[in-house]
Amino acid sequence: MSKKMRLAKFLAECGVASRRKSEELIEEGRVKVNNIVVTDVATTVDAFIDKVKFNNKMLEIPSKGIILLHKPRAVISARQTEEEERKVVSDLLPKKYESYFPVGRLDFESTGLVLMTNDGDLAQVLMHPKYNFIRVYEVKVRGKLKPQDASKIRHGVKLDDGLVQAKIEVIKELENSTWIKIAIRIGKNRVIRRLMEKLGYPVEKLKRIQHGPFKLGSIPVGEFEALSYKQYEALRTNIFNEVKEKERLKKEYKDKKFTKLKKKLKR
């Protein structure tokens, strides 16, 4: 059995640091491979054979997995921050999950589902805009949402960084505010807040309840649920099968379009 990879990727999968930061650590001479200091970032290692040490501590890639975390308000969606007084999502997990990182971001003021994983490939797929994995939010906005504004959201509202479309439904109307559910397939920074503010409905509360096939459910605020390896494997397989199908359909559409164009040019 063999699992060859770049040394920086190995360090990242062990939870030492990001790939870019890991390259810096290698260049600083803080990494040994088979008891020899390595400073070349192009070095590759076999995760099952080579013995890798960081600061003289033996490293081993942990088993892959995923955690569903209910992020509280005033917690940053990151593994670490330079602002020591601020808490990050990694602070809410036991030490055995120190290699896990958040999949995307949920802003400082918002609460709800943050996926945590040490599977870089899975995280990349869930975040990548071309795969359009759904995010669902429960949002309390100031004012009564007008039907024409809900229609605008469904058809698309132009923001500074592009057109934003979303499914929207009213959950509950209060005297001076409205609870709505928004389902969106893009992960732009503060997109829900910017969308609603553009239409004149400032967000008072925002909670993410779903990301892709993962749902928050009844996990209490500040708590988490670690999926079993069997659950993780099944969901990962389903996600990558969905991605392959999307890519197949996209290629099929392009091929049909190209064939039609060729026929048109021959006339």
Q: How far apart are CA 217 and CA 214, in angstroms?
A: 9
Residue 206, domain member (yes or no):
yes
107 catalytic, yes or no? Answer: yes
Looking at residue 101, its amino acid is: F
Residue 198, domain member (yes or no):
yes
- Residues paired with 228 in a beta bridge: none
pLDDT at 256: 75
Residue 127, domain member (yes or no):
no
Q: How far apart are CA 76 and CA 196, in angstroms?
A: 22
Residue 227, domain member (yes or no):
no
Residue 158, domain member (yes or no):
yes
pLDDT at 39: 96
CATH number at residue 194: 3.30.70.1560
Total domain count, the chain: 3
Query: Which residue range(s) make up the domain with 241?
Result: 234-266
Out of 107, 119, 161, 255, pick the active-site residue: 107
What are the tokens at 71? Answer: 């992020």
- CA 51 to each of CA 11, 40, 59, 79, 126: distance values in angstroms, whole numbers, following the listed order: 12, 16, 8, 26, 32
What are the tokens at 99? Answer: 């290699």
Residue 75, domain member (yes or no):
no
pLDDT means over runs of 10, the chain (267 residues): 82 82 94 96 93 93 92 91 81 89 93 94 89 95 96 96 95 96 93 97 98 96 96 95 90 74 60
pTM: 0.79
Residues 6+ apart with CB under 8 A from 120: 9, 12, 13
pLDDT at 200: 97
pLDDT at 195: 97
